[in-house]
Amino acid sequence: MLNNNVVLCTEENGIARITLNRPEALNALNRDVLEQLSSILDRIKTDSSVKAAIIIGAGERAFSAGADIQFLNKATPLEVRDLAQLAVTVTNKIESLGKVVVAAINGLALGGGLELAESCTLRICVNYARLGHPEVRIGAVAGFGGTTRFPRLIGKGRAAELLLTGNAIGADEAYRIGLVNRIVEPDKLLSEAETLIQEILSQAPIAVKMTWEAIHRGENLTLEESALLGADYFGLAASTEDFREGTKSFLEKTQPSFKGR
């Protein structure tokens, strides 16, 4: 796996741990970070030994404080747009990786940092985390996917309030509105993320992948089209050996042994 200056990646027990490694800048996202992250995601997507991934920030203060403001202040409008387009490409890669990705939010997750987390399958945060979209406070827009994913995660009205005021929220409020799935003590963040991943990986692999695809693809369809897509995936899942194993084990009240085929 890659091991670079601004993004680190290690693998253990089939789980890739991706670390945004600019702690001195609160893991702010610049072109180097996004390009290295993009390259790592490409490798993970095609590496059959990697079953899932965790994204976390280096240090104890931030997952990521967002786009690099020093760059934004000096960049041309075209350079800003290019950075945003790169970030959108990266978040799309995370969302369509075909593997579970958990954002382990170890502090601040603001602006582009929160947008990175929003593209993950699930989000776990420490109890002192602060999350928000402060872009309007610097005259900017949540252009890394926030205006799209944020409302879909927590609802249009609540997202509009937070996007338009730039207010940040704490871990408890983030959990209450469904932005994060779990809140943990700092020393349990990674172990909880790994436990959650292992719980998912213990299920039928093809069914897990199809379920996420149905959720992801169904967001852009009408209610009827999305439901029909789910029915199609249900039919496809029925063609797998795991489906026969799972239904047989249910009837016989035994533990299924899924093979991923």
Among 11, 60, 79, 115, the active-site one is 115
In sequence order, what are the residues at sequence separation of 6 or more whose Cβ sits closer than 8 angstroms to the Cβ of residue 141?
Answer: 135, 147
CA atoms within 13 A on the CB side of 208: 21
Alpha-carbon span 30 to 84, nearest angstrom: 10
Among 11, 79, 118, 135, the active-site one is 135
Residue from 97, 126, 108 nearest 212 by CA: 97
Residue 11's Cβ-count burial label (10 Å; 0-12, 13-18, 19+) is: middle
Q: Are 171 and 139 in contact (CB under 8 A)?
A: no
Q: Is 241 a catalytic residue?
A: no
Q: Is 252 a catalytic residue?
A: no
Active site amino acids? 115, 135
